[in-house]
Structure 1
């Protein structure tokens, strides 16, 4: 460990890049997840089919290949992405495709009576989704979204292959300079674990804050309030 002690600031700088990739990638993944997930629930084929193709393609192909395609192949079509942008795009699209199925499955898991109650109150499909279905489905999504976030954090190590100076990239630099392979990779192993554990704690806290019994103790009341009715 003494051999790599002078390089710890370099590794910490790499950790900051990894955290930035995680935050930006997850923000994009959430946008993609809700866009594709809701589109897959649409009765319109022009929305449902493209969303289904997107999800299957990005879930069915390697993230590493997607990353290489975005960084090395897009320039042939006149689109040049920076290494960081290519990394965020690959992480967000890939993890967003998985998260889209979480959105779709969570909404579909709600009791059919919620749809019928909203229809009985003459709520439009968009109002029903915003005011009734999503408030109940989001707490169901959180545990799985937490797993996606941790998986995204671990997959940030792939962006080192397109020269993003993240934690893994800088660890390779330190290993080359010192030859202390075990110490270097043991150190970043601990760093990844600590960040993952903190994310898990944050997920647990958030789950408790938005637990269904806190936000919707009475589903009928929720539907009536969403429709603007007065609960006696």
Structure 2
């Protein structure tokens, strides 16, 4: 056992670039969606709150894997002429799904800011935009940081699902190796290496999340 590292690991690493690319694009989409939907759910306009809430509950209440299949296979049938690659579909599904979860982090952080600070900003004749930009968001972002760090780790782990839609990431390559190496020891070896590779990828995010938690705690304690 564990005697084929020089053969298995290079093959698994061929999918590393795809895993990282899907993660990065998914993260950009997720955090953009998090702010749009999160702030939308705090809006005073009922229609905006309704739309934001509907989006969040839809993507939190349905399977991420089903969402990927929907973007790859169903959406092009609903919208004729629309073609979406597995890479875009996977990253989009990840971004929208985890963005929906992260929007709760944004909403909770904004709502946690004391209303007295908003009243003080109003007394200084600040507009709604100025209150959000200069008073609420600088404090709320500190509260969002730990949640965003944890969300990034979850998103990275979720990238393994793109292998189901035939995107050649590390998990997809591990599956190919398993199909051509049927012995139990070889399969244990393959997925042990895969487990270690995902952990090594997640390790910087884990340390970043812990650092953000400490930074956020210091920020809150000084206010």
TM-score by length of 1: 0.88
Q: What is the correspondence of 1:191-206 to structure 2 with a 5 Å cutoff?
A: 191-206=197-212
Which SS does the other structure have where 2:15 is aligned?
Answer: helix
Deviation readout 1:146-185 (Å, 9 max, x if unpaired): 1111111111111101111011001111122223110001
* Partners of 1:57 and 1:9 in 2: CA distance: 39
* Partners of 2:139 and 2:221 in 1: CA distance: 7
Aligned length: 217
Q: What is the correspondence of 1:1-232 to structure 2 with a 5 Å cutoff?
A: 1-76=2-77, 77-78=79-80, 79-179=82-182, 180-208=186-214, 210-211=215-216, 213=218, 217=222
| Structure 1 residue 216: Cα displacement | 9.3
* Partners of 1:102 and 1:130 in 2: CA distance: 18
| Structure 1 residue 64: Cα displacement | 0.8
* Partners of 2:219 and 2:58 in 1: CA distance: 38
| Structure 1 residue 213: Cα displacement | 4.5
Which SS does the other structure have where 1:80 is aligned?
Answer: coil
Deviation readout 1:198-226 (Å, 9 max, x if unpaired): 21112233445x546459945xxxxxxxx
- Is the CA contact 1:136–1:216 (under 8 Å) kept in the aligned structure 2? no
- Where in structure 2 are there 5+ consecutive unaligned residues? none
Deviation readout 1:108-156 (Å, 9 max, x if unpaired): 0111211111111111111111111111011111111111111111111
Instruction: Give the ranges of 4+ consecutive aligned residues of structure 1 lying more than 6 Å apart after TM superposition.
Output: none
| 214 and 42 in structure 1: CA distance in 2 versus 1, 3 angstrom threshold | closer
- Where in structure 1 are there 5+ consecutive unaligned residues? 219-232
* Partners of 1:120 and 1:13 in 2: CA distance: 59
